[in-house]
Structure 1
Amino acid sequence: MPWDVRQAPHVITWEVTRACQLHCRHCRAKAIRHRNPAELTLAEIEQVLEDIRDHFDPHPLLIFTGGDPTERDDLLDILRASVQRGLSTAVAPSVTPNLTPAVLDAWREVGVRTISLSIDGPSPAVHDTFRGVPGTFLASLAVARAIKERGFGLQVNTAVDVHTVDSLPEMGALARDLGVASWEVFFVVPTGRARQEDALSPESMDRTLAWLATYAQSAPYRVTAVAAPQYRRVMLETIPGLARPRTPAVREAQGFAFIDHTGEVYPSGYLPVSGGNVRRTPLSTIYRESPLFVSLRDPDALKGKCGTCPYRDICGGSRARAYAVHGDVLAEDPGCPYSAVMAV
């Protein structure tokens, strides 16, 4: 039976803290150096975990992130609480001195299955400039190998903007050499510290997605594009004989939800419009009933080119990019050059 994204998300990303030692060029959170006293407590987090367990079927994947989640001294308790409730649990840490072999061993012992690392380029010149701390690239390679040695699934996340796009072929080769299970290519949205002038032009995005679609056909790991749901259209245009998907792309509020460190629930970490707060309303209720979330799942509510696009049911455009540029979550996606006129 197809997963009904109106009732349960595929993925929940949970920012358990906004504290982080890095200063990344594109950070959507504008991470801070010290923890916010208003963060959700362990007891509050456990209540949300019980709601997820009891009211989302199938259970979504939970990804605990930040900031840097290792800045919380109770992170192991959070991970244990998630695993003990039967939830598939992953961690997306920053590569800092906090991320030691002993920490990885402890995560493995409590039942974490997957760890994702951000590596934005195949060299220190690209990655360290992007992440804002010299030495981060080599440290990330060492951590990636330690993750693999311990039997975790490894996902590498690569942010794409004008500074990193030319390195994608080499980055794909590095991901192969690291033995990743998944390579997630994120197209930067101009929110947080990310600037509009750093984002790819719509035409460059389409060219890059076409390259990615071709590359994915022979890649020895799963390849996904994030903040670029038009990847569905580009794949159909690029790969001969590919069948049109029967389900919509996972995007903001449509198979995905984001919880911030104070309990606000967003359709995406890159779309800073809240549908509610878990301190007042259960996550399951927010996801299913919030007017914001409901509207984002309605292809007929889309405006501009997205509203008339023949691919709106399987794409829908990046709602985060629409909001960042137009200030309207339902506006057309400024990162996509396609229009219905092009199809005539």
Structure 2
Amino acid sequence: MNENVMNPCIPASIPAAEEGFYFQWHFLESCNLRCIHCYQQGYATKELPREQIFQIALHLDNALSKWGKRGRISLTGGEPFLRKDLLCDLLERFNSSEHFNWIGILTNGTLIDDSIVDRLQAYDKLKEIQVSIDGATEMSHDKVRGSGSYARALEGIARLKVKGFTVSLMFTLHRLNQDEAEGVIDLAQQLGVDALTIERVTPMNDDDRQRLFIEVETLQAIYKRIYRKKLEAEKTSKLKIRVSRPLWNLIDEHIGGFCPVGLSSLCILHDGTALPCRRMEIPLGNVLTDGLFKIWYTSQTLWKLRNKHLLQGKCHGCPTLGNCGGCRAIAYTINGDVMAEDPQCWR
């Protein structure tokens, strides 16, 4: 059931009018893997009719047109390369749009063959392909993502790099791979990828919390080690290790960043349902039935997220609020409130 919405009251300064509005569109839910930490609860194989899929694309285009801004979009699933033809049709759609200047693909990398790599070269706005890697070795990665997934992902990365694509890795940090982070940095350098993002796991249920969630003191020590490794790695390679996320500012006040949730980003699911963030399971409405503008301007959850003075616990009044704000998705899944304090903050 969708949340109740307020009567629209559009302010003079609109949140979505910021540069670089970002959409993450999970245009299908089907996936060839079953990762132990995945925030996706279902794996539906039924898709929307093609006409409705492209109606969603039109809604995104129209929103940017009305805002008078350019946008970025990441296409993902499920696993987007399960539907290579549909993926390429959507790439063509956004590549030809005057309102989008950046397209990304989020993938597990296991289905990338030479044929699809050749097709991807046609889209000049395709700026980055992010591949999920959850361990520094075949054993540790496959423990999370399934047998054979490591070898196939590395093969996919190699094919992309040969053709000159910008490739990044996504490493989701949790209790089962918490000793792998520095090794993943080494792996990223060996593979010659362009960037590495390290994200904390968002536990979606009590079992995830018990198995995967890292305690505060342990996380602090891991972040310190990662940051030292980052400084070393960036001296000797082109690898960019992205640390523009909440809590990194507690390691170095010059890094970190505020999450754009509710301000300049939105997640769209395969059926048109909009979420604040893919890891925050709060349905805001459906783009096809409610329209993107109604969702963006009337959602109580989004308006709450925009009012940072409503943050609770140690986040409320924190002197580093302007460069952090905590992870709202983790706060929600652990505490049941999007404005609760980040439970992994050690400040």
Q: What pairs with 1:197-276 in structure 2 (closer than 5 Å)?
A: 197=210, 198-218=212-232, 219=234, 220-225=238-243, 229-236=246-253, 242=254, 249-276=258-285
TM value normalised by structure 2: 0.85
More divergent stretch after superposition (267-276 vs 286-295): 286-295
Q: What pairs with 1:14-163 in structure 2 (closer than 5 Å)?
A: 14-32=25-43, 34-37=45-48, 41-56=52-67, 58-72=69-83, 73-86=85-98, 87=100, 88-96=102-110, 98-111=111-124, 112-131=126-145, 133-163=146-176
CA change 1:286–1:217 in 2 (3 A) is farther
Give distance in 2, aligned partners of 1:114 and 1:42. 23
**Aligned-residue offset at 1:22:** 0.4
Match of 2:208 among 195, 198, 204: 195
Give distance in 2, aligned partners of 1:108 and 1:284. 33
Question: Partner letter of residue 183 of structure 2?
Answer: E
Contact (CA 8 Å) 1:299, 1:313: kept in 2 or not? no
Give distance in 2, aligned partners of 1:331 and 1:50. 34
SS of residue matched to 1:110: coil
Corresponding residue of 2:198: 185
SS of residue matched to 2:316: helix
Question: Partner letter of residue 221 of structure 1?
Answer: L
More divergent stretch after superposition (141-150 vs 275-284): 275-284
Unaligned regions of 5+ residues in structure 1, if any? 237-241, 339-344
Aligned residues: 324
**Aligned-residue offset at 1:201:** 0.9
Unaligned regions of 5+ residues in structure 2, if any? 1-13
Match of 2:317 among 303, 308, 314: 308
**Aligned-residue offset at 1:210:** 2.4
TM value normalised by structure 1: 0.86
Corresponding residue of 2:9: none
**Aligned-residue offset at 1:35:** 3.3
Contact (CA 8 Å) 2:48, 2:271: kept in 1 or not? no
Give the CA RMSD over aligned residues.
Answer: 2.5
1:92-115 C-alpha deviation (Å, 9 max, x unpaired) = 12334x432111211221332311
1:218-263 C-alpha deviation (Å, 9 max, x unpaired) = 423222248x511123222xxxxx4x88xx6134223332111111
